[in-house]
Chains A and B, each alone.
Chain A
């Protein structure tokens, strides 16, 4: 207890009396070290609650049992026998050395043996198996559910790590701690030379705290994506697009723009999504009324009935020069978030469009209807075994809808469903639904195929050579069983057809417009025409089983690109490839004969099972069923004349989630309700849709969701991160390089070369550039001296620091220095760290460069972390104080005190008095130890001989 503290208490007792007595108590409390220890303990507990999942905390009792059982085993197996042995040896007056050896050996050996026996016999009983549920685990279900969920992730909290640490309970603890430290320092510690250490440490901690407070207020963090220009002839990209903003790391927004005659393109309104959840599902069935119940993956978390309602009012707009407020979005259009899913795949779902104005999603061909037919694939099961029935089954059968299909007959890709894929990814059942199939095609599909090697063919070629009226040659129509390598000669003069290959998928993706993403089995044939026919030269024809209409001829001549020249299939010979190798069901609808358009169309079906004749059923209507062998049947469902596609969330199970994408919305979607209140005879209108989160906007031209209101107003919507401006600064990517380790493709470093445009004229430059083009505007601005450009780079551990202050040679250096210092303390200096890169394109182009196809590898973009650093030097100063204060307090102060004591001793000795001896309490050790004259001597153990 210091004398200063005594004086402080005396002062309190003298002055803080009567009504000021509560102040005395407060001062005493804040002067106490006990309070500091309690606050530090609370701080630690808060940290534990923040970082450890509640499920793990719930495991503490379980592990306590494990630990106690181990301790019990050691106590019974080692401690007790050793203790008993010791007692026995003491009674028998055994030698000390002997007792020691027995004790040490006993403890070591018996402890190891006890733990081994515990691990062999007790642990297997205690050990918990999550699958069987055997073993000991208290609150097992709770633990299973919350094993990866810290408190801050629970519904109702939904805070990121830093948000949780910025919450008021922790702030309160920290405030109290710092106040405690200040008060205790002032009232308890003498301001003396010896105490410089502890004073410095305390000052350092307080400085860090104050610096942190300022830092936290003004801190901004995020990242920006810089896109490279097109590579030139030497492979080096041109300077990329200018970027004058960055994406905030945590704040999310709904970005909206409304198209209209008076609104400039490219300007977006940002509505901050405050209190948006991060970790849990809310109202994931928000589109149930529109699209029905959405299927959920096995093991995926549900919303447990949680709902959400976050209104997004328009931000305040400053009035323009004319005093009017120019809004980007009409004020009567209202937005509200009604659902959120943190980690989803957005699956397509269809909703019927009853009237043209009922369509929400704006598409380029909004007028074209999108008819949809629903089909169910039903599997037939033996109730006794639960397995699919076979042909010999005679008993009862239960049915299970294995899959529900939405067939888009207007889309080649959407009209086909491939089901029951095997290990190689090959489908075992294909369903196709067409509208108005060509009768000739129907006939070919229904035809009895010629015999192949083993019974009816699995692959067939239909050859149709039209009659030639000019030469009088008659036409012919034949079918052939084919296999790869088969050569067919047909007609007179003969056409030679060689089957080059047969494959279940196209060798290249189909790029024919309208057929993108469609697939089909393909036969490639080489056709050698007779002289005078089809150009007279051999050609290859790609025959798509499902799309005979897009067959193309590849000629021997090459086009300007060096690739084989193509042409539409020559009509002199018509070839159709029929793939009958797997089970296929074809539906085809056509308008009912003689009926009006409101009547449902007639539907016919064709089932083709390998090596069996085709089965045809006609006159089908919704609800009718056709059998596909004993185990399966297909049920025709409802038909919608028009429908639109909406995205609905399918929640991803926890096990399949990437931890890096948790809590940061990267895989999230929100359900937005757009509404317009009733006005002027117009009824109220409201619709919902799910918007996926977009980490970056502007990479692709259509990085938004476009919607059209019934009155024709169009909106573009983006659920993304807040854009923040880079003050007086524009960045452009000049080049990017990934530097690998020697002999390797593993990255050792990344480097982005940048052009930085800075100066007070940057805002004007960016405005001007929208009309004039950036480079031209830049040249003018540089000429005017309002901006300057510098070339800089950033790489790992070597960020680019960009301060708004520009050193001006015509000013005295002290003025420059002071301004520079102020700019460093201010919040507008930014740091750009290498944070991401375009690994896919870099690796692709590297491979091409190695193959000699490109001069060098290049990346299409780089991602830079962006952050300012307000007050970091204050924090650094505090850190230095703390770091140098500790050794002073621990090592220099004791030395100073010792030196002082020795001097006093010497002085006292000189005048013939003995130095006062320390009291036991002052040393904190037993009096006997202090009283021993050998305390400060080296331990005699080292050099002692055995007595």
Chain B
């Protein structure tokens, strides 16, 4: 009996002494996203005829013309682009987004007010700008078309373009700087000088590279018009200039001619003919439902609306908590359900349009994570009938969706996935399970924030000289308890239970997700664990929750508070695993 522990220890040390050095591995082929080809290298002519060297319409004329043309018939035409068939509206949005770094093109209309020239911003429909850029490119040569996000680079261009030192020059530079865009002519005049002087700086090099791509996209946009369907799947779709002779070719020519003449009626008639003619070329392969759904997805902006509905739900439910107004609670619940519905609609349509489970890039995984969290949070709130959990759900939904839609998270366009992601069901389970756990971690974090807020902003003692804080009093009122301290403790208990439940589930699903990934990696890469940064940081996230489990078992004092802080830490580690690793640390999970 005496020797058992020693023998056990020795046996363990002996076994562990066998642990050797690990060997390395390299990333396999198909391990990265397919090259995004915004610009098809067709070398084909402009289907609307060679554009004139001079812009066909002036500022006012363009504005009027844009208001008169009706592009609805063209909006849902199918076009083959970047590896999939999409609607023309999507192509236009993606192209304009890539060039401008924003959702639409804006012209600056000069207006005289009180003897001063002021500029009014007027936005255009992306499809109009896209077509106009192809048919009348000269108009945009000296317009603020090319978005430059990197401020020092933008400043450098403007200093070269407007080298003057007067206050007026400063104003001009400042105006352009705030605009965030440059003209293609500015870019072509100074890009070489700036490239030569800043080539060795990574941020500048990236900025210049993006700039090159934007200008190429502006110049090469006509090449993207692969609108003519082809039945043979081994052949690419044909370019609009290859439509041959017939009504489609005639309509294309007529559209170009009318557009350059500023003839909106002519454009509308040609667009209608084109919209009838193109689907009729190969009706058996021309998509139908998918086009409508994609267009609905573009129009509905479900994730943006979802975010704002979540925001409304968050505010309503928080106010309901304190004011005890039933209408606020019901408003919050309706808004929350609306947010989840929009969110789910967007996710579902995206899956249908992309023909895959849409969790395979940063944007998609964020929408997926938040949807999982929202569904779990909603279930939790409904089961416990504690609508503060509804507020937590809304907070997660709002936080994630607003980040995904408003901060330039990559992957908003629906594209093909990495080849290696395409051929394994196991991988889908791995990704889904891990993302599900991330959703739970996010929800648990918000619940923990509520816990921390409750802990630190309500009085420890109900007999404090200035009386209970608003939060304590609100809690007591909300729980129909007279003693604020008891109410506070009851709410803390509820919140602790909720955060523990969420963290336990997150701990399990993350663990299983990591192991599923290891299984897939062994199957596909030949090594189950490679200490890739993503793997490592997922493991670190899991370790944080492992610590939570053990800390609670160990009977630490104030374990609810400790759990809440560890939950916040776990969320930060998860965030780094989710975003930081992708941005900062290269590895095998290039697509994640």
Within 8 Å of chain A (Cβ to Cβ): is B163?
no
Q: Does B44 contact A (CB under 8 A)?
A: no
CB neighbours (8 Å) of A653 from chain B are: 200
Contact indicator B388/A221 (Cβ below 8 Å)? no
Q: Are B19 and A216 within 8 A (Cβ)? A: yes
Contact B28 A929 (CB under 8 A): no
Minimum distance in angstroms from A87 CB to a CB of chain B:
7
Q: Which residues of A contact B586 (CB under 8 A)?
A: 659
User: Which of A221, A742, A743 counts the most B-chain CB atoms under 10 A from its CB?
Assistant: A743
User: Besides A883-B508, A890-B504, A932-B486, 16 other CB < 8 A contacts?
Assistant: A23-B6, A50-B536, A104-B322, A162-B21, A174-B16, A221-B24, A221-B527, A659-B586, A743-B230, A746-B34, A749-B422, A797-B424, A799-B526, A921-B555, A939-B386, A941-B479
Taken together as a complex, chains A and B put the C-alpha atoms of A876 and B515 apart, in Å, by 9
Cα–Cα distance between A568 and B555 once the two chains are bound (Å)? 97
Q: A213-B18, A797-B423 are in contact. Are A162 and B530 (CB under 8 A)?
A: yes
A138 at the interface (CB under 8 A from B): no
- Stretch of A163-171, A526-534, A572-580, A636-644 lying at the B interface: A163-171
> Does A942 contact B200, Cβ atoms closer than 8 Å?
no
User: Binary interface profile of B, 7-29, with partner A (CB < 8 Å = 1, else 0)?
Assistant: 01100110111111111111111
B552, CB-defined interface residue at 8 Å: yes
| A895 part of interface (Cβ distance < 8 Å) | no
The smallest C-beta distance from A918 to any residue of chain B, in angstroms, reads 13
The chain A residue sitting closest to B34, CB to CB, is: A746
**Binary per-residue interface labels of chain A (864-878) against chain B in the complex, 1 for a CB within 8 Å, 0 otherwise:** 011101001001100
A100 touches B24 (CB 8 A): no
Which residue of B13, B80, B385 is within 8 Å of A938 (Cβ)? B385
Q: How far is the CB of A339 from chain B (nearest CB, A)?
A: 23
**Interface 0/1 of A22-34, CB less than 8 Å to B:** 0100010010011
Contact (Cβ within 8 A) A796 B20? no
Whether B522 sits at the interface, judged by CB under 8 Å, is yes
> Is A192 on the interface with B (CB-CB < 8 A)?
no
Asked if A51 lies at the interface with its beta carbon under 8 angstroms from chain B, I say: yes
Q: How far is the CB of B352 from chain A (nearest CB, A)?
A: 17
| A37 engages B26 (CB within 8 Å) | no
- Chain A residues with Cβ under 8 A from B511's Cβ? 882-883, 886
CA distance A765 to B488 in the complex (A): 81
Closest 5 CB pairs of A and B: A100-B322, A942-B385, A867-B526, A166-B21, A929-B489
Nearest-Cβ distance from residue A111 to partner chain B, whole angstroms: 13
How many whole Å from A314's CB to the nearest CB in chain B?
24
Q: Are A217 and B474 neighbours in the complex by a CB distance under 8 Å? A: no
Once the chains bind, are B555 and A924 in contact (CB under 8 Å)?
A: yes
CB-contact partner of A886 in B230, B387, B508, B585, under 8 A: B508
The segment from A40-48, A468-476, A484-492 that touches chain B is A40-48
Asked if A353 is an interface residue, CB under 8 A from chain B, the answer is no
Given contacts A179-B13, A924-B559, A942-B385, contact A213 B19 (CB under 8 A): yes
Stretch at the interface among B241-249, B269-277, B537-545: B537-545
Residue of B nearest to A15 (CB): B2
Flag if A51 contacts B585 (CB, 8 Å): yes
Residues of B with C-beta under 8 A to A740: 234
Within the complex, the shortest CB–CB distance from A275 to chain B, in Å, comes to: 13
The CA-CA distance from A941 to B12 in the complex, in Å, is: 54
Could you tell me if B8 and A183 are in contact, using CB atoms closer than 8 angstroms? Answer: yes
Residues of A near B478 (CB, < 8 A) are 941, 944
Known: A162-B24, A875-B528, A941-B387. A796 touches B30 (CB 8 A): yes
User: Which A-chain residue is minimally distant from B19 (CB atoms)?
Assistant: A213
Contacts A33-B550, A47-B536, A941-B478: A664 and B387 contacting too (C-beta < 8 A)?
no
On whether A51 and B537 interact (CB within 8 A), knowing A100-B470, A869-B526, the answer reads yes
A943 cross-chain contacts in B, Cβ below 8 A: 385
Could you say which of A223, A833, A875, A941 contacts B321, with CB atoms under 8 Å apart?
A941
Contact with B along A712-756 (1 / 0, CB 8 A): 000000000000000000000000000011111111111000000
B16 and A175 within 8 A (CB): yes
Cβ-defined contact, A748 with B324, below 8 A: no
B contact residues around A96 at 8 Å (CB): 322, 470, 473-474, 477
- A101 and B554 contact, Cβ closer than 8 Å, known pairs A175-B19, A212-B529, A934-B490: no
Q: Mark A644-657, 1 if CB is under 8 A from B, else 0.
A: 00000000010100
CB-nearest residue of chain B to A942: B385
Q: Are B19 and A171 in contact (CB under 8 A)?
A: yes
Contact surface of B with A, Cβ cutoff 8 Å: 2, 5-6, 8-9, 12-13, 15-30, 34-35, 37, 80, 83-85, 152, 192, 198-205, 230, 233-237, 315, 318-319, 321-326, 384-388, 416, 419-420, 422-424, 427, 466-467, 469-471, 473-474, 477-480, 483, 485-486, 489-490, 492-494, 496, 504-505, 507-508, 511-512, 515, 518-519, 522-533, 536-537, 539-540, 543-544, 546-547, 550-555, 559-560, 581, 584-586
* Interface set, chain A 265-291, CB cutoff 8 A to B: none
Contact B524 A928 (CB under 8 A): no
Pick the contact of B322: A97, A744, A747 (CB < 8 A): A97
Are B486 and A796 in contact, with the CB atoms below 8 A?
A: no
Interface 9-residue window, one of A303-311, A340-348, A447-455, A834-842: A834-842
Find chain B residues with CB under 8 A from A165 CB.
22, 531
Chain B nearest CB, measured from A152 CB (Å): 11
What is the CA–CA distance of A299 and B586 in the complex, to the nearest angstrom? Answer: 22
Question: Which residues of the partner chain A approach B26 to less than 8 Å between Cβ atoms?
Answer: 223, 249, 664, 835, 865
CA distance A921 to B416 in the complex (A): 55
Asked whether A879 and B515 contact (CB < 8 A) given A104-B319, A175-B16, A655-B202, the answer is yes
Contact A942-B470, Cβ < 8 Å, known A162-B23, A743-B235, A887-B508: no
List 23 A-B residue pairs with CB atoms under 8 Å apart, sorted by A's residue number. A40-B546, A51-B536, A99-B474, A100-B321, A162-B25, A182-B8, A183-B9, A653-B200, A664-B26, A741-B83, A743-B234, A745-B236, A833-B524, A835-B26, A865-B26, A882-B515, A886-B512, A887-B508, A890-B508, A924-B559, A924-B560, A926-B489, A932-B489
**Considering residues A132, A833, A945, which has the most beta carbons from chain B within 10 angstroms of its beta carbon?**
A833
Q: Interface code A139-168, partner B: CB below 8 Å = 1, 0 otherwise?
A: 000000000000000000000111101100
With both beta carbons as reference points, the residue of chain B lying nearest to A12 in the complex is identified as B5
Is B384 touching A938 in the complex (CB atoms < 8 A)? yes
> Which among A86, A160, A926 has the highest number of chain B CB atoms within 10 Å?
A926
* B21-A743 in contact (CB<8A): no
List the B residue with the shortest CB-CB distance to A97: B323
Given the contacts A796-B423, A835-B29, A186 and B5 also touching, CB distance less than 8 Å:
yes
Contact check, B477 vs A947: say whether CB atoms are below 8 A apart: yes
A40→B233 CA distance, assembly (Å): 53
Instruction: Give every chain B residue within 8 A of A915 (Cβ-Cβ).
Output: none
What A residues does B235 contact at CB under 8 A? 743
> Can you name the residue of chain B whose Cβ is closest to the Cβ of A180?
B12
* Bound CA span A395–B236, Å: 65
Please indicate the chain B residues that have their CB under 8 angstroms from the CB of A934 in the complex. Answer: 490
Contacts of B28 in A (CB 8 A): 833-836, 865
- Contact A796 B479, CB 8 Å, known A162-B23, A925-B496: no
A193 to chain B, nearest CB (A): 18
Q: Which of B30, B477, B560 contacts A834 (CB 8 A)?
A: B30
Interface residues of A in 358-393 (CB under 8 A from B): none
Residues of B within 8 A of A132 (CB): 152
How far does the alpha carbon of A932 sit from the alpha carbon of B482 in the complex, in Å? 12
CB distance from B550 to the nearest CB of A (A): 5
The minimal Cβ–Cβ distance linking A882 to chain B, given in whole angstroms, is 7
B201, A131: Cβ atoms closer than 8 Å = yes
Query: Complex Cα distance A359/B8, Å?
Result: 66
Q: Check: A1 CB closer than 8 A to any chain B CB.
A: yes
Q: In the complex, what distance in Å separates the CA atom of A771 from the CA atom of B493?
A: 82
Q: Are B22 and A216 in contact (CB under 8 A)?
A: yes
Distance between B481 CB and nearest chain A CB, rounded to angstroms: 8
Which chain B positions have C-beta within 8 A of A220?
Answer: 23
| Cβ–Cβ contact A90 & B19, under 8 A | no
* Assembled-state Cα–Cα distance A90/B508 (Å): 45
- Cβ B490 vs Cβ A161 within 8 A: no
